Chains A and B, each alone.
Chain A
């Protein structure tokens, strides 16, 4: 257990070496990975900062590589021989196969994050997935999305220049940014523009003419059915181009070389990396320092991250515990801190409902992140999904009107024409035996979820959720930490579940709740954990409250 007092270290001046303690180690594990259990934090402290950073860069073992078994597209001749209905059916089967493959891979990826064999690589893969983003909606080929992800994990901690070179000929990217339509006679600027605006330089560091010329350099690169990239010489424009002052017969590699030589490029990449890991825009002097380092180290991403993770400013008050965790980070982080092993697809579906559907970014800029994650709807739902992972919230609980509303709803059913809803596409009316507020209203709500196209999403969540039971013993964990009193129990739970210190008002709320609930069990303070299984149930409900707090959204 981390002593809360350790969190109160004085802020140090930039440049001073930091004190490598539990607070610093936990911060590094939160940002370079997806959070950690107290034992891992203690170990990191023992190992020492420099050695532990090397551990993170090296990882703890190989992943079990994903076996890619893509659905077979029916041969053209075969398709041509079919009647229209059979053809449509074959196409439908193929598309379903695509979706299933991506669902399977999403689960594989989340499992890697949950297992923590190489937390930093997963974190960087997630970064590149948003930086060099592509969407399955438009690529429409799951195998290409899987291969793109494999490209990002291969180079996650490698060299940016090599990664960039491969991205401009990545089949999913070629399809996503329409390079299929980029031909000598009719150039398409989409890839060229995003290459400059989002991948290397940022707006204001190139002209429209540069985009046009760069598009010509990229002509001819295509993705065959989104699966394999190839270069069509006849569609490539071999003429002279002028990009950012460089004149020559540029091809894709030549263009990448020009972009990498621009002073704006290391600044752009360094700025994005710093903002992602620190949760705030870097100050100018720091940005300049890191940009120069990135260039001088020949785009070595591991060297960049090593420098960052040893930088005292990375551990400053302005950085630690101030970043809003994205849905994947929040959900995976909560599972890792709790030691939960839910079905990975459950996490994937929940993250999607919270606004981060992997392989389906909102647009070419990827996910905006930060404050944009926080909406009234997503904040309420974060608590609900955390409760689901803890086994204290079932979808049914979300759909059941609370008692206060239930009385108004039942009035509604008495004098309204809504009763007919029950004969609609609703499921058979459930009799849940005296459970308050369930019944027609919840059944109607379920029917609406299904009709809203959430059959696959929430329906899937429901099925996964029904079978899922968390392997969790918070009581044992508190006992091991020597916590028996209410105050000690809360301190233990908060220090394990939260990346930031609990604020006084939140502590007051939790204290009051625990006190009231313990008293209603008729147990004295200090004796709660002896009263099982009630105590464990109560601790899980408290964990649900903790993970729903504003503090739990930060890391």
Chain B
């Protein structure tokens, strides 16, 4: 376990020397080290507060996640998809969690899982891309506003700080929420692939090519930028691969790529890399046909992986400073369609989890009998949840990121 971030960084840096070898490297590594140690002020709080954005892509069926089993309208709208009451994990006499969400249920009981009911936004859009853009930019205009909301958060919270790995996406498609040219995210599908590929001796030469910064006064600005980025990239690649390779956890993660991505996040969070926002995606939620088996399997995967991840994080100081935000671009129609599936809908629950989270139910479950063209009306603007993270967790005035004010939910 990496309870000593300071020590671990030193090890990583010294390790860097042994990988590339050669004296030429010392200046760069030393340079990197100075900047690196200078990054997060290690005050009384040893581990920085962090966030994991967990995106359920495709439109998760909120009504099969947080199930309003106490409502007759639910049963009549879902003749083939309704979940049997005896298997549900009941929270009260109206709501229950999906039967496969056993680990999350335990977290709810122990007070480290918050469920925000009926999250959405005004004038809902039912296109995957456009709706996801709205969640990613926290703006109804979508991408037209420029950066993603995490990019804006970076600009406000950590603008001056050096931060190569400030924002890390583990996966193939970097979500637009992280889009920012001033604070580009580090991204890779798996830590092993986050590297420049070549034989050992080529890698050594490549390392030296990145080690030359500071050698030229008055170098052309773009060349200087490229050289600096190359040095950063090599250091970042090595830190991340090392942190992932070295990570030991007492918790068993499921044998599943999604769980492996979460395990990487745990490794980086505990590896003291100074990362503040992580992002991971789980896809497959666009269940227009034969939803039952597919959605059950997705809930099982989500519960097993997220459960293991949160159990793992609860064991370390850095892990206890991480909050997970689970969201999807929209929920699904109340009434099931003719192919035992559901079509694109609107409001759905969000999960906010972590040791630091004040668990429980938030907001109001949308009424199943007061529909807007067949869809649930949202009862909480999702930006009120972002506001809680931005203000309550990162201590940044929400207007600077969201452009206006939302009453933050007391989630953290």
A residues contacting B by CB (< 8 A) are 83-85, 88, 137-138, 279, 321-324, 362-365, 368, 370-372, 374-377, 379-380, 383-384, 387, 392-393, 397-405, 408-409, 412, 415-418, 420-425, 441-442, 444-445, 447-454, 457-458, 500, 503, 505-506, 509-510, 512-513, 516-517, 541, 544-545, 548-551, 553-554
Contact = CB atoms under 8 A, between A and B. Distances in A.
A83 B289 CA distance: 13
B34 interface: no
25 contacts: A83-B338, A372-B181, A375-B184, A375-B185, A376-B232, A376-B236, A377-B184, A379-B230, A383-B197, A387-B197, A401-B241, A404-B19, A408-B242, A408-B246, A420-B255, A421-B255, A424-B256, A442-B192, A447-B257, A448-B190, A449-B193, A452-B172, A452-B173, A503-B219, A554-B226
A550 B228 CA distance: 9
A445 B192 contact: yes
Contacts of B236: 376
Contacts of A545: 198, 202, 205-206, 209
B316 interface: no
A212 to B, nearest CB: 16
B337 interface: yes
B239 to A, nearest CB: 11
Contact of A379 (B18, B226, B260): B226
B131 interface: no
A418 B229 CA distance: 33
Interface in B210-263: 212, 215-216, 219-223, 225-227, 229-230, 232-233, 236-237, 241-242, 245-249, 252-258, 260-261, 263
Contacts of B281: 452
A324 B224 CA distance: 12
B209 A402 contact: no
Contact of A368 (B181, B198, B254): B181
Given A449-B193, A457-B172, A415 B248 contact: yes
B41 interface: no
B202 A454 contact: no
Scoring B171, B209, B245 by chain A CB atoms within 10 A of each residue's CB, the highest score goes to B209
Nearest to A375: B184
Contacts of A383: 196-197, 206
B293 interface: no
Given A397-B197, A445-B190, A506-B209, A550 B226 contact: yes
B142 to A, nearest CB: 8
Centre residue among A137, A377, A517 by max chain B CB count within 10 A: A377
Contact of B261 (A83, A365, A448): A448
A548 B195 CA distance: 12
Q: Which 10 pairs show the lowest CB-CB distances between chains A and B?
A: A420-B255, A550-B226, A451-B257, A363-B143, A376-B233, A417-B252, A452-B172, A372-B181, A505-B212, A408-B245
A544 B193 contact: no
Contacts of B37: none
A510 B205 contact: yes
Given A375-B185, A401-B192, 19 more contacts: A84-B338, A322-B223, A324-B222, A363-B146, A364-B143, A371-B225, A372-B184, A376-B184, A377-B184, A383-B206, A397-B198, A399-B190, A404-B19, A412-B246, A449-B172, A457-B172, A503-B212, A550-B230, A554-B226
Contact of A412 (B229, B245, B337): B245
A279 B221 CA distance: 12
Given A362-B179, A452-B189, A551-B223, A379 B233 contact: yes
B186 interface: yes
Interface in B169-204: 171-173, 176, 179, 181, 184-190, 192-203
B94 interface: no
Interface in B109-158: 127, 129-130, 143-144, 146
B391 interface: no
A496 B212 CA distance: 23
A398 B195 contact: yes
B229 A85 contact: no
A398 B198 CA distance: 8
Nearest to B130: A138
A405 B222 contact: no
A199 B385 CA distance: 37
Contacts of B263: 418
Contact of A85 (B194, B246, B289): B289
Contacts of A457: 172
A474 B114 CA distance: 62
Given A372-B181, A387-B197, A417-B253, A449 B237 contact: no
Interface of B: 15, 18-19, 127, 129-130, 143-144, 146, 164, 171-173, 176, 179, 181, 184-190, 192-203, 205-206, 208-209, 212, 215-216, 219-223, 225-227, 229-230, 232-233, 236-237, 241-242, 245-249, 252-258, 260-261, 263, 281, 283, 288-289, 337-339
A550 B202 CA distance: 16
A72 B362 CA distance: 48
Contacts of B187: 377
Given A377-B188, A383-B206, A384-B197, A453 B172 contact: yes
Contacts of B242: 405, 408
Given A376-B233, A400-B192, A448-B257, A513 B202 contact: yes
Nearest to B22: A512
Contacts of A505: 209, 212, 215-216
B171 to A, nearest CB: 5
Contacts of A397: 197-198
Nearest to A361: B143
B158 to A, nearest CB: 16
A351 to B, nearest CB: 15
Given A505-B215, A551-B223, A421 B260 contact: yes
B201 A448 contact: no
B281 to A, nearest CB: 8
B230 A138 contact: no
Contacts of B255: 418, 420-424
Contacts of B247: 412
A445 B193 CA distance: 8
Contacts of B245: 401, 405, 408-409, 412
Nearest to A510: B205
Given A405-B242, A445-B190, A454-B189, A544 B201 contact: no
A485 B108 CA distance: 71
A118 B402 CA distance: 46
Contacts of A421: 255-256, 260
Contacts of B219: 503
A322 B225 CA distance: 11
Given A374-B226, A510-B205, A452 B288 contact: no
A393 B181 contact: no
B162 to A, nearest CB: 13
A199 B226 CA distance: 31
A279 B200 CA distance: 36
Nearest to A449: B189
Contact of A554 (B205, B222, B261): B222
Contact of A88 (B208, B248, B339): B339
A346 to B, nearest CB: 16
A199 B237 CA distance: 40
B203 to A, nearest CB: 6
Given A84-B338, A379-B230, A554-B222, A449 B205 contact: no
